[in-house]
């Protein structure tokens, strides 16, 4: 039972984000990136399936600053192989990323066959599309998205998809298939730094050259800006005790205490 | 602009979803700017009566097919692709719900066009569509032109008020036929919401926790505050994903829609997916260490500070007041 996990990094929104000098993209000079949270869940779901059924988990990602840390961490968690697509500038377009991943999967020896391709259902920078469905379309494989559980048996994945209000749906998906993961069945596992260091010494990250693909052009960013604030909270200042007093006052005024 | 403006109506278990009316309201503005008719498209099985609720559109296309009874995105996308090839709309507005987003992305993939995501506003200007899209968890907005034909655009919940898209006007419905083969993916059944210990949608006081709560142990601080207020604890996605709170306590896109009298937010940054579920709360107080957190644009009152310090202080003060 082999699984390919597609991952990418996204800006860490815990940090302050600034607009770059072109006015159309993020200022990358001090940008810190982290693994797309949903991709981290896709990795975890792959590892949970490996724990259960055995097989190999391969990671495929676009090269980016700090990507090696992400990949070694994933290897330390139990992934078997890590491949990065090199020679791409920071890819701003999900459509372009889809082409890069799709071509690489099809043309790189040894990436296929797999039973499943898992990737995060969405990312905070997915402006012109989501990854999983167009990759499935390119491969001619079935697709299911917003998935929170996966069980495998007899060339069929039984998946649970989230709707709203806590209602979910159960689907049967013939494998091989591409799944967009919303959340793994368990929180992404923790791996101690020592294990990551050990992975850095004992394992290698493979590089493949990016295939030549045409950049997507039908969605063009004219401007990027911090949201215009239409309303803003009335800010309460002071020590925690002073703030708590102020909150009590306003709750009392509203008849909430 | 050549071609109609389409909105894809969402029916969810026998009802037209509210977001459908939000899209009708937005679509009406865009159609006016483009000088094009607004057309709603409803796909379903024995759902023609729902099409009658879409009178805000100039016309409604209704496709009835037994294969559209269950939520199989592939079937809905294939049906829409057929209708799009035949009718050539200029733009197709798709609700960004868990139900419809998969229809939109599969449709875009089938047609080989981008799926413009996270759109909160849309205008037709000089033959082009200009969208405002929310990126990076609400920290940036991009103004984007979409030149694909058709442009498939995912519209965030809340783009326009629901009431603006409702109409008493009788809908002009045209029945259209779609041909669907057996899908690759099979729908088996719905799994109903897990019975929770409390129904957070019925509580007047909610204390919501997010990533900023840091550890499961710190949940106790929120529990104490909620108990003092006479309410319950709920959470945003990261807290549910960590397994710290059950699914029945999740507020947002996949979880519950809540409108309590008081919603106290501890360490929640305010990603659009969460805001969608709580923005109707009567009084929102947000505590977050990040002064630039988008939640401060939504909350009525804000505190830049450590929720782990503010929560216990507030609990003590309320206890003292209540005696």
Choose the closest CB to B114 out of A219, A229, A254.
A219
ipTM topping 0.85: yes
| Distance from the A133 Cα atom to the nearest Cα atom in chain B, whole angstroms | 6
The residue among B107, B109, B125 with the most chain A CBs within 10 A of its CB, best to mutate, is B109
Whether A45 contacts chain B with CB within 8 A? no
Q: Supply B57's token pair.
A: 């559109």
The conformation of residue B267, written as its DSSP 8-state character, comes to: S
Cis peptide before B150 (omega within 30 of 0): yes
Q: Which residues of A touch B188 (CB under 8 A)?
A: 158, 169-172
Whether A153 contacts chain B with CB within 8 A? no
Q: Which residues of B touch A125 (CB under 8 A)?
A: 135-136
Tracing tokens 């009718």 back to the chain, one arrives at B87
CA dist., res. A23 & res. A222, Å (int): 8
* Cβ-contact B6, B89 below 8 angstroms: yes
Helices of type H across chain A: 37-53, 67-77, 94-107, 132-139, 193-202, 240-253
Q: Which residues pair with B8 in a beta bridge?
A: B41
Beta-strand pair A234-235/B232-235: unpaired
The answer to whether the CB atoms of A234 and B185 lie below 8 A apart is no
Q: What confidence tier does A142 reach under pLDDT thresholds 50, 70, 90?
A: very high
Whether A29 contacts chain B with CB within 8 A? no
Tracing tokens 């992400």 back to the chain, one arrives at A70
Q: What integer pLDDT is reported at residue A176 of this predicted model?
A: 98
Stated pTM of the model: 0.94
The answer to whether the CB atoms of B105 and A134 lie below 8 A apart is yes
* Cβ-contact A75, A82 below 8 angstroms: yes
CA dist., res. A154 & res. A163, Å (int): 26
Q: Which CATH number fits domain A2-209: 1.10.3720.10, 2.40.50.100, 3.90.800.10, 3.40.50.620?
A: 3.40.50.620
CA dist., res. A181 & res. A162, Å (int): 10
| Distance from the B66 Cα atom to the nearest Cα atom in chain A, whole angstroms | 18
Per residue in A8-21, pLDDT (tens digit) is 999 999 888 999 99
A-B C-beta contacts closer than 8 Å: 268
Choose the closest CB to A257 out of B257, B310, B318.
B318
CA dist., res. A23 & res. B116, Å (int): 20
Whether A22 contacts chain B with CB within 8 A? no
Would you kindly state where each structural domain of chain A is located, as residue ranges?
A: 2-209
The conformation of residue B256, written as its DSSP 8-state character, comes to: B
Nearest CA in chain A to B272: A124
CA dist., res. B114 & res. B95, Å (int): 16
* Cβ-contact A19, A26 below 8 angstroms: yes
CA distances from A210 to A108, A207, B112, B169 (A): 10, 9, 21, 55
* pLDDT of chain B, 323 residues: tens digit per residue: 789 999 999 999 999 999 999 999 999 999 999 999 999 999 999 999 999 999 999 999 999 999 999 999 999 999 999 999 999 999 999 999 999 999 999 999 999 999 999 999 999 998 899 999 999 999 999 999 988 889 999 999 999 999 999 999 999 999 999 999 999 999 999 998 876 678 999 999 999 999 999 999 999 999 999 999 999 999 999 999 999 999 899 999 989 999 999 999 999 999 999 999 999 999 999 999 999 899 999 999 999 999 999 999 999 999 999 87
Q: What integer pLDDT is reported at residue B2 of this predicted model?
A: 85
Name residues whose C-beta falls within 8 Å of residue B146's C-beta, 6 or more positions apart in sequence. Answer: A218, A219, B91, B114, B116, B128, B129, B130, B131, B153
Q: Which stretch of DSSP H or E encloses residue A178?
A: strand A177-181
Choose the closest CB to A127 out of B117, B296, B300.
B117
The answer to whether the CB atoms of B117 and A137 lie below 8 A apart is no
The residue among A40, A233, A248, A257 with the most chain B CBs within 10 A of its CB, best to mutate, is A233
Whether A26 contacts chain B with CB within 8 A? yes
Q: What confidence tier does A188 reach under pLDDT thresholds 50, 70, 90?
A: very high
């Amino acid at each position: 039972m082999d699984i390919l996990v597609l991952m990418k990094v996204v800006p860490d929104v815990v940090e302050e984000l600034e607009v770059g000098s072109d006015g159309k993209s993020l200022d990358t000079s001090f940008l810190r990136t982290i693994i797309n949270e949903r991709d981290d869940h896709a990795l975890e779901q792959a590892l949970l399936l490996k724990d259960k059924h055995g097989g190999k988990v391969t990671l495929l990602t676009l090269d980016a600053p700090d990507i090696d840390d992400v990949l070694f961490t994933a290897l330390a968690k139990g992934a078997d192989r890590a491949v990065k697509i090199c020679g791409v500038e920071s890819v701003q377009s999900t459509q372009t990323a889809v082409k890069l991943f799709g071509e690489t999967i099809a043309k790189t020896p040894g990436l296929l066959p797999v039973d499943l391709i898992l990737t995060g259902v969405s990312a905070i920078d997915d402006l012109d599309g989501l990854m999983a469905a167009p990759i499935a379309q390119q491969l001619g494989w079935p697709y299911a998205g917003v998935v929170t559980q996966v069980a495998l048996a007899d060339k069929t994945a039984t998946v649970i998809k989230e709707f709203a209000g806590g209602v979910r749906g159960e689907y049967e998906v013939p494998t091989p298939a591409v799944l967009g993961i919303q959340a793994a069945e368990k929180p992404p596992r923790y791996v101690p730094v020592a294990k990551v260091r050990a992975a850095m010494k004992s394992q290698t990250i493979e590089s493949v050259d990016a295939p030549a693909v045409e950049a997507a052009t039908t969605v063009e960013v004219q401007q990027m800006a911090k949201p215009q604030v239409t309303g803003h909270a009335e800010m309460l200042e002071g020590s925690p005790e002073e703030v708590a007093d102020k909150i009590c006052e306003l709750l009392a005024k509203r008849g909430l205490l | 602009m050549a071609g109609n403006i389409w909105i894809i109506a969402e029916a969810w278990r026998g009802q037209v979803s509210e977001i459908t009316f939000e899209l009708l309201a937005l679509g009406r503005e865009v159609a006016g700017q483009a000088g094009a008719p607004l057309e709603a498209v409803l796909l379903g099985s024995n759902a023609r009566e729902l099409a009658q609720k879409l009178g805000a559109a100039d016309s409604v296309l209704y496709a009835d097919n037994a294969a559209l009874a269950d939520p199989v995105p592939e079937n809905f996308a294939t049906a829409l692709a057929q209708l799009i090839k035949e009718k050539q709309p200029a733009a197709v507005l798709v609700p960004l719900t868990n139900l419809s987003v998969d229809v939109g992305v599969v449709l875009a993939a089938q047609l080989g066009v981008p799926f413009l995501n996270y759109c909160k506003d849309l205008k037709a200007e000089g033959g082009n569509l200009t969208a405002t899209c929310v990126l990076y968890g609400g920290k940036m907005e991009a103004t984007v032109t979409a030149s694909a034909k058709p442009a498939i655009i995912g519209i965030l919940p809340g783009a326009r008020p629901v009431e603006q898209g409702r109409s008493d006007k009788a809908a002009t419905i045209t029945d259209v036929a779609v041909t669907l083969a057996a899908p690759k993916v099979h729908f088996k059944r719905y799994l109903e919401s897990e019975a929770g210990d409390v129904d957070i949608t019925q509580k007047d006081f909610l204390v919501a926790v997010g990533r900023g709560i840091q550890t499961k142990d710190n949940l106790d601080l929120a529990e104490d505050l909620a108990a003092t207020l006479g309410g319950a604890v709920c959470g945003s996605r990261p807290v549910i994903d960590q397994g710290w709170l059950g699914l029945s306590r999740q507020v947002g896109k996949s979880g519950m829609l809540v409108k309590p009298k008081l919603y106290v937010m501890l360490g929640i940054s305010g990603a659009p997916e969460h805001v969608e579920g709580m923005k109707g709360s009567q009084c929102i107080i947000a505590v977050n260490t990040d002064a630039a957190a988008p939640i401060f644009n939504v909350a009525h009152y804000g505190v830049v500070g450590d929720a782990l310090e503010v929560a216990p202080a507030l609990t003590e003060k309320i206890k003292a007041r209540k005696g």
